[in-house]
């Protein structure tokens, strides 16, 4: 079943508190049924439960309602990544309303169906009630006898996991990121420590999405942070060996699925491992790149490219990946003998816009140009003039600043692109201006 049984008091409480969540949640089943045929084939491919697909499709629909970008293909890519991994989830069941606890349990049931090994820590409330609610949601829960800080607990959890059950642990005397809990996560070699409470971490009033543990001190010093103590504890957990810590607001409907099955997430993730990176394009990425930029090519925002053209100049291309999902790209075409290079094929997926990834890709291309001792970079655009001029500090120049071959290509295309230029070596720029000045004086 996808929902809590009507006979259970938690279900009645959930209906009584339904005003706390958007009424559109009833459309989850409608969306899932409308896509049943497509889901059936993917379901058979991955061999996982229908519960997960209902939860994931519901999360995708609710994300759209709440204005959270959702990339369904990216979500699918997380399924094999998560299978067999251990997630430790701490839930402040004593402070969260029962409706929110019910939503969290449904998301946990979906994770169990994917094949995630769950370890549940109950920070507040009656652990036996939570255990009973887990059974109502058809989670294979088992009460652990130990508590965090006891040396025997780790072995007990491993034994329960090996039986195919989900350990439920009474952690009422602990905070969500106490060292005893962190040490337990490290001992279990868990991939994630996830905490669900009534508050999250906000930066200038908005969720702080992904922060490297090494950057936390700088972030706290530079910004207006709500939940700074939690952020510092999360960074300490990463330093002690936890790869990723997720701090989530349990009052937000579907927060667990939205966080884990999207590139950006909706809560705060503090990470010690590689989360976002820019790397060279490889052959296996080319179909993904072509599919990603196809819409802009059709609308004449980007120059058309085919597989063979990209493969021929594959060393020019770089992609941004989040959890190994390609979300953006850029190319740097060098003009040998001209001491310049062109930034081209700059694109960020629509679902990942608004996070500064375009700027990061341009800065990466500029750094590659510097490593090749290129003095200036050029950019041609029909729609990103403000971006290059205002954010990247490029200067608009006439087309005759282009290498002759590129200028002729632009004229033949009839695209009417604007040309922008940036000098990477300021001393070289000043020297050229001085030479032009001397030539003018001598003339």
> Could you read off the pLDDT of 365-420 as tens digits, one per residue?
999 999 999 999 999 998 899 999 999 999 999 999 999 999 999 998 888 899 99
221/291 Cα distance (integer angstroms): 41
66/46 Cα distance (integer angstroms): 28
Asked if the 277-442 domain carries CATH number 3.40.50.2030, the reply is: no
Nearest to 246 by CA among 192, 208, 199: 192
Tell how strand 117-122 and strand 166-170 pair up: parallel
Q: Output the pLDDT for position 426.
A: 60
Taking the whole predicted model, whether its pTM rises above 0.85 is answered as no
> Could you read off the pLDDT of 178-233 as tens digits, one per residue?
999 999 999 999 999 999 998 889 988 888 888 999 999 999 998 789 999 999 99
Answer whether 348's CB lies under 8 Å from 360's CB: no
Nearest to 368 by CA among 331, 419, 335, 326: 331
- Supply the Cα-derived Rg of the chain in whole angstroms: 26
**Does residue 165 carry a pLDDT above 70?**
yes
Domain definitions of the chain by residue range: 9-189+255-265, 277-442
């Amino acid at each position: 079943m996808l929902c809590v049984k009507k006979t259970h008091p938690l279900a009645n409480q959930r209906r009584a508190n339904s005003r706390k969540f958007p009424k559109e949640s009833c459309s989850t089943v409608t969306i899932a049924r409308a896509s049943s045929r497509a889901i059936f084939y993917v379901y058979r491919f991955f061999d996982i439960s229908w519960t997960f697909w209902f939860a994931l499709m519901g999360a995708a629909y609710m994300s759209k309602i709440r204005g959270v970008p959702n990339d369904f293909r990216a979500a699918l890519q997380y399924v094999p990544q998560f299978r067999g991994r251990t997630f430790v989830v701490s839930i402040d069941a004593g402070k969260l309303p029962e409706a929110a606890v019910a939503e969290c349990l449904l998301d946990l049931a979906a994770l169990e169906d994917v094949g995630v090994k769950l370890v549940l820590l109950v920070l507040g409330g009656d652990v036996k009630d939570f255990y009973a609610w887990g059974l109502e949601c058809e989670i294979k829960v088992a009460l652990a006898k130990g508590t965090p800080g006891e040396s025997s607990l780790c072995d007990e959890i491993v034994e329960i996991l090996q039986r195919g059950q989900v350990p439920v642990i009474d952690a009422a005397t602990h905070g969500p990121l106490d060292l005893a809990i962190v040490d337990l996560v490290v001992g279990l070699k868990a991939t994630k420590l996830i905490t669900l409470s009534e508050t999250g971490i906000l930066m200038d009033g908005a969720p702080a999405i992904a922060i490297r543990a090494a950057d936390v001190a700088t972030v706290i010093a530079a910004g207006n942070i709500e939940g700074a103590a939690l952020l510092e504890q999360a960074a300490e957990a990463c330093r002690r060996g936890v790869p990723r810590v997720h701090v989530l607001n349990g009052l937000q409907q579907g927060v667990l699925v939205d966080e884990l099955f999207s590139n950006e997430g909706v809560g705060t993730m503090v990470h010690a491992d590689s989360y976002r990176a820019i790397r060279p394009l490889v052959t296996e990425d080319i179909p993904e790149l072509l599919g990603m930029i196809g819409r802009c090519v059709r609308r004449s925002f980007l120059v058309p490219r085919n597989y063979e053209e990209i493969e021929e100049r594959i060393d020019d291309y770089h992609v941004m990946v989040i959890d190994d999902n390609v979300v953006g790209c850029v190319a740097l075409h060098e003009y040998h003998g001209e001491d310049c290079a062109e930034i081209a094929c700059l694109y960020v997926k629509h679902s990942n816009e608004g996070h500064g990834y375009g700027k990061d890709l341009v800065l990466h291309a500029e750094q590659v140009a510097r490593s090749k001792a290129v003095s200036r970079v050029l950019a041609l655009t029909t729609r990103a003039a403000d971006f290059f001029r205002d954010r990247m500090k490029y200067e608009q120049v006439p087309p005759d600043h282009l290498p002759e071959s590129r200028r002729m290509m632009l004229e033949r295309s009839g695209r009417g692109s604007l040309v922008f230029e940036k000098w990477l070596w300021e001393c070289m720029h000043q020297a050229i201006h001085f030479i032009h000045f001397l030539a003018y004086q001598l003339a």
